[in-house]
């Protein structure tokens, strides 16, 4: 997959619209985690430094109309601190006020528009709205990989009205995830966790014939355990996916894939900080308890299964890592991936909760790549051509 990369030498004096993802946690006007803003600094500094007249557009949350607490103004203030130069902000994303602000930009200036989801036309990919976004600009740079699986006005629609190019973040994501999906070094291990089997069906179906080792933990493991007729107590389960789990267990065996499920789990009667935790074998989960993390024997088993692996893709935590009592499994896998990277393996962490877990465990810089995408990463690994990437392909 070859993308049309933005050439900064051709951006001087040009009015450039760039799609970023500044969907950051904001509370009382303060940003809790600026990681997504930081991820776009390479593109922002390169285009601004080359003399581009840069307009940034992003969404924030799921507003219903113009919601003041979901304004991107705090993101403009934080970006200004990071780039150490003024960042203008306008309280809209289309219209006369926006057009006037864009017209007044000088070479190297940066402008951030208001939350594009304040308009319902954004998520509908309304062509008139997309044209209004695009109209004041001369080129479009798509750098928001995490939003590339959405066919929205600011991710796909504007590309129909402007010459469109890929930013460095999206290029890096496609290069690394593409290498894992299409040409991994073997042995190759896929680690899946998180809550639902239904979120990972496409990934399992697309990757099962490519992997040597498949490790399943987290809440989704209990659907696979139920498929083996084990009592899982009150653990999370998707009854309508038990049939799929049975098929995948058989398919993995037929393909010679080494599949590992938990052999013990940390259980409690509820997912809370005050819950009493105990470790039980997988076939002895009490009826009134729920599995909330993999146990110590499962940690040993999974880490042993990863020994000597050359490529790893991990998507989904091993337990409720947000609670101290149920973070051991997730932290152990993160530590093992850091050891594998030190040995020369390519270790890739899918975005969303897994990225948050790795960061919370302190291993964000100890793995090869932490994807900025959540749903986008999953859909990419399913083999789909993401709508926000399609217009960026070299013809």
Cis peptide bond prior to 22, omega within 30° of 0: no
Q: How far apart are CA 319 and CA 321, in angstroms?
A: 5
Choose the catalytic residue: 14, 66, 124, 196.
196
Query: What contacts 13, CB < 8 A, 6 or more positions away?
Result: 51, 52, 53, 107
The CATH number of the structural domain formed by 184-381 is 3.40.50.1260
Choose the catalytic residue: 36, 53, 181, 241.
36
Query: What contacts 300, CB < 8 A, 6 or more positions away?
Result: none
Query: What contacts 306, CB < 8 A, 6 or more positions away?
Result: 189, 191, 213, 215, 312, 336, 337, 340
Is residue 352 flagged as an active site residue?
yes
Is residue 316 flagged as an active site residue?
no
Strands 30-31 and 26-27: antiparallel
Please, are residues 285 and 233 in contact by the beta-carbon 8 Å criterion? yes
Is residue 256 flagged as an active site residue?
no
pLDDT digits (tens, 9 = 90+) for 351-367: 788 988 898 889 988 99
Choose the catalytic residue: 352, 373, 374, 388.
352
Mean pLDDT for 33-62 is 96
Instruction: Give DSSP secondary structure letters for 180-207.
Output: HHHS--SSEEEEE-SS-STTTHHHHHHH
Q: How confident is the model at residue 27 (pLDDT cuts 50, 70, 90)?
A: confident
Can you give the pLDDT at residue 29?
86
pLDDT digits (tens, 9 = 90+) for 142-198: 999 999 999 999 999 999 999 999 999 999 999 999 999 999 999 999 999 998 899
Rg of the chain over Cα atoms, rounded to whole angstroms, equals 23
Mean pLDDT for 204-217 is 96
Pick the CATH number of 8-170 from 3.40.50.170, 3.40.50.2300, 3.40.50.1260, 1.10.10.10: 3.40.50.1260
CA 176 distance to own-chain centroid: 13
Q: How far apart are CA 166 and CA 171, in angstroms?
A: 6
CA-to-CA separations, 239 to 209, 215, 264, 271, 342, in angstroms, rounded: 25, 21, 21, 21, 40
Is residue 196 flagged as an active site residue?
yes
Can you give the pLDDT at residue 360?
87
Q: How far apart are CA 355 and CA 328, in angstroms?
A: 16
- Tell me which DSSP letter residue 85 carries: S
Choose the catalytic residue: 51, 160, 202, 375.
375
* Dihedral angle over CA of 282, 286, 291, 293, nearest 10: -60
Least confident of 26-30, 140-144, 316-320: 26-30
Residues of the chain with CATH 3.40.50.1260: 8-170, 184-381
Category of 256 on φ-ψ map: left (φ > 0), alpha (ψ -120 to 50) or beta: left
Can you give the pLDDT at residue 121?
97
Q: How far apart are CA 211 and CA 252, in angstroms?
A: 10
Closest to 197 measured CA to CA, from 231, 229, 228, 243: 243
Order of strands across the sheet that contains 213-216: 258-260, 213-216, 188-192, 311-315, 346-349, 369-370
Query: What contacts 177, CB < 8 A, 6 or more positions away?
Result: 348, 371, 377, 380, 381
Query: What contacts 220, CB < 8 A, 6 or more positions away?
Result: 192, 193, 194, 195, 196, 197, 199, 200, 236, 238, 316
CA-to-CA separations, 372 to 10, 38, 57, 169, 331, in angstroms, rounded: 27, 11, 17, 9, 19
pLDDT digits (tens, 9 = 90+) for 215-262: 999 999 999 999 999 999 999 999 999 999 999 999 999 999 999 999
Can you give the pLDDT at residue 353?
87
Can you give the pLDDT at residue 352?
81
pLDDT digits (tens, 9 = 90+) for 88-128: 999 999 999 999 999 999 999 999 999 999 999 999 999 99
The phi and psi torsions of 109 (rounded to 5 degrees) equal: -75, 155
């Amino acid at each position: 997959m070859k993308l049309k990369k933005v050439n900064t030498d051709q951006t001087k004096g040009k009015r450039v619209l760039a799609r970023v993802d500044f969907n950051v946690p904001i509370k009382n006007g303060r940003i809790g985690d600026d990681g997504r803003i930081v991820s776009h600094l390479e593109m922002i500094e390169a285009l601004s430094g080359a003399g581009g007249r840069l307009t940034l557009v992003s969404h924030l949350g799921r507003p219903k109309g113009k919601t003041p607490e979901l304004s991107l103004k705090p993101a403009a203030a934080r970006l200004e601190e990071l780039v150490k130069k003024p960042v203008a902000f306008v309280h809209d994303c289309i219209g006369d006020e926006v057009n006037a602000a864009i017209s007044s930009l000088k070479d190297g200036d940066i402008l951030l528009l208001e939350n594009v989801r304040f308009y319902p036309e954004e998520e509908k990919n309304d062509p008139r709205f997309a044209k209004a976004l695009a109209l004041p600009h001369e080129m479009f740079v798509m750098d928001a990989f995490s939003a590339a699986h959405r066919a929205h006005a600011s991710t796909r629609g504007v590309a129909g009205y402007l010459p469109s190019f890929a930013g460095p973040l999206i290029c890096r994501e496609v290069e690394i995830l593409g290498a894992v999906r299409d040409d991994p070094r073997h042995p190759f291990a896929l680690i899946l966790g998180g809550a639902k089997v239904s979120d990972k069906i496409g990934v399992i179906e697309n990757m099962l014939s490519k992997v040597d080792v498949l490790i399943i933990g987290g809440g989704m493991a209990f659907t696979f355990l139920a498929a083996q007729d084990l009592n899982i107590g009150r653990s999370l389960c998707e009854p309508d996916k038990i049939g799929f789990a049975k098929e995948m267990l058989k398919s993995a065996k037929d393909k010679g894939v080494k599949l590992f499920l938990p052999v013990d789990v940390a259980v409690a009667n509820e997912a809370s900080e005050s819950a009493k935790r105990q470790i039980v074998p997988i076939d002895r989960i009490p009826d009134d308890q729920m599995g909330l993390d993999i146990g110590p024997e499962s940690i040993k088993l999974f880490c042993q299964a990863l020994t000597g692996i050359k490529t790893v893709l991990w998507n989904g935590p091993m337990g409720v890592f947000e609670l101290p009592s149920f973070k051991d499994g997730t932290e152990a896998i993160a530590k093992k991936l850091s050891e594998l990277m030190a040995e020369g393996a390519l270790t890739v962490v899918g975005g969303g909760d897994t990225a948050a877990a790795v960061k919370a465990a302190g291993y964000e810089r100890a793995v090869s790549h932490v994807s900025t995408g959540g749903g986008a990463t999953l859909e990419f690994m399913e083999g789909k051509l993401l709508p926000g990437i399609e217009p960026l392909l070299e013809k």
